Amino acid sequence: MSEHELEQLRLTSVQRRAVLALQQLVRSSYPSLPKHKFSCSADIARIYADRLGGLVHEVMLGLALNGRNEFMAEIELARGGRHGAALTVADALRPVVRAGASAFVLVHNHPGGDPTPSPEDIALTTAMQKPADLVSIPLIDHIIIGGRGGGFSSMLDLCIIQ
């Protein structure tokens, strides 16, 4: 949470320090990707395959990128069950805007192993493109990591994202 968001909660100083400490702990458990520049979908798949490929539930992440396609922040957008995670366009864009991104990439896993985009994956991706462009934070790619070493697919590489 940003400083502004913490102020809006009207927490006591003890509560505020606890939230900040918890945020620091959570941040330290994620992979460190400062100034990592992504040039292709394989770069992202290589980084996230080990972390997401073995999960038994779906996780949707947003990767906030700066104007040079360098990593700025990783945001967990949704967590679901074995067969999906619910996410709206607004739920995905809100934290990406807050992160100050110039562009973003969606990354999620398919626990069953097959990284082929589902109709729901394609619908979310196509629905997200226009609103993302309207706020000048384009969706660069949507990458699906297959579970248990199932490889990956890129909606940019599949020409679903133009």
Domain boundary assignment for the chain: 1-30, 32-154
Q: What is the pLDDT of residue 32?
A: 47
Q: Which of 73, 48, 77 has its CA nearest to residue 63?
A: 73
What are the tokens at 79?
């967590």
Q: Specify which residues 79 forms β-bridges with.
A: 59
What is the average per-residue pLDDT within 120-144? 94
Question: According to the model, what pLDDT value does residue 148 have?
Answer: 76
Q: What is the mean pLDDT of residues 64-89?
A: 83
CA dihedral 90, 94, 96, 97 (to 10 degrees): 120
Residues 6 or more apart whose Cβ sits within 8 Å of residue 124: 87, 89, 142
Looking at domain 32-154, its CATH class is: alpha beta
What is the average pLDDT across 142-159? 90
CA dihedral over 97, 98, 104, 108, signed as positive or negative:
negative
- Strand residue runs (E) in 25-117: 59-65, 71-79, 103-110
**In this predicted model, what pLDDT tens digit does every residue of 7-60 receive, in sequence order?**
778 888 888 888 888 777 765 554 544 456 677 888 889 888 888 888 888 899
Dist CA 17 CA 32 (whole Å): 23
